[in-house]
Amino acid sequence: MSTFWSPIVSRLEPYVPGEQPKDGTFIKLNTNENPYGPSPIALGAIRAATQDSLRLYPDPAMLRLRSAIADTFGLTLDHVFAGNGSDEILAHAFHGFFTGRDPVAFPDITYSFYRTYCELYGVAYRTVPLDDDFRLDLQALPDGCGGIVLANPNAPTGIALDLDSIETVLTRHPDVVVLVDEAYVDFGADSAARLVADHPNLLVVQTFSKSRSLAGLRVGFAIGQPHLIEALVRIKDSFNSYPLDRLAQAGAEAAWTDTAWFDETRHMVMATRARMTDGMTDLGFRVLPSAANFVLASHASVPAAKLAADLRADGILVRHFAGGRIENWLRISVGTDEACDSLMRVLGRLVDRAAG
């Protein structure tokens, strides 16, 4: 604490990202990065953009990238917003749609950044408890809330809602923005993007960080009707006109159009997820049904905190959220098949040892 800080800064509880170790010896299954590299075509586009024109500002409207995305969804350009990672877009959305309203609602177990944005922008919020199977009861979303935020698939449970459920939420709460965060949608859920045309209160947010292996490039986008997109543009242009640099715009556009690479790598992740789920179930874990590139799992007899520490000692990083309802669960990202084999070997040993 410093006397120079504003009251807002003193009150903040910043989001704590997963560990990014400096040495590359760990098997990193803690931050849901894609184990396969970005599209080679995207890397080529980034290299090609690395030239003298970097002295010039990038396109503030990000037209080429937004057009490519709009085309895929059969929408016009004014339905698409792009930002410096989807986290930035989520921040703009909380700022632009939820401040000064009734409390916004989201599940008690979800992406913890939502609470952080609420605190940053002074947005009141109410959490809706998931049931014992970590599922959302749509009836529990309060009438008269100031907005609804749903990660679909949810993080860190991996559980997906079907589009009928999303549509039910949209029609039951027509007066507030329903923000659907689809960071993991490409690993097995249905995108609500196709509902955008019929629902003026829907904003869908996606990212290039997970299914397109570009966490390091920082690109996300949102899809919604033009009145919602315009709000985001107004905030962006009051904050930073150039959220995506030239390399990011070129790389993301190329990655978007390389659908062959995208499909091949996400299907490999999904196949490994199935192997991981079976292997961990055999070892006595309860593994939630995941539509994402991670699983949330809990062992019947070995505490999650101990497993996380012992895995780390064996060179494998996983995510453990201390305190709260998922204290005894581990979120483990889906790596390569080789990483999955190492994980199974070490987990097998740790579980055996605990059984003594």
Q: Which residues bind ligand PLP (CB under 6 A)?
A: 85-87, 111, 151, 155, 181, 183, 207, 209, 215, 220
Nearer to ligand PLP, 116 or 277 (CB): 116
Q: What is the DSSP letter of 162?
A: P
Nearer to ligand PLP, 58 or 85 (CB): 85
Nearer to ligand PLP, 158 or 279 (CB): 158
214 contacts 188 by C-beta, under 8 angstroms: no
Nearest residue to ligand PLP on Cβ basis: 85
Nearer to ligand PLP, 215 or 268 (CB): 215
311 contacts 348 by C-beta, under 8 angstroms: no
Nearer to ligand PLP, 187 or 285 (CB): 187
Closest by alpha carbon to 39, among 216, 256, 215, 339? 256
161 contacts 136 by C-beta, under 8 angstroms: yes
Measured CA to CA, the distance from residue 34 to residue 93 in angstroms comes to 26
Measured CA to CA, the distance from residue 325 to residue 68 in angstroms comes to 41
Q: Which residues pair with 205 in a beta bridge?
A: 181, 222
150 contacts 179 by C-beta, under 8 angstroms: yes
CB of 289 to ligand PLP, least distance (A): 17
CB of 181 to ligand PLP, least distance (A): 5
243 contacts 82 by C-beta, under 8 angstroms: yes
Tell me phi and psi for residue 144, to 5 degrees. 75, 20
CB of 233 to ligand PLP, least distance (A): 18
Nearer to ligand PLP, 179 or 339 (CB): 179
CB of 155 to ligand PLP, least distance (A): 4
CB of 14 to ligand PLP, least distance (A): 15
Q: Which residues pair with 82 in a beta bridge?
A: 221
CB of 282 to ligand PLP, least distance (A): 28
97 contacts 177 by C-beta, under 8 angstroms: yes
CB of 120 to ligand PLP, least distance (A): 15
Nearer to ligand PLP, 222 or 346 (CB): 222
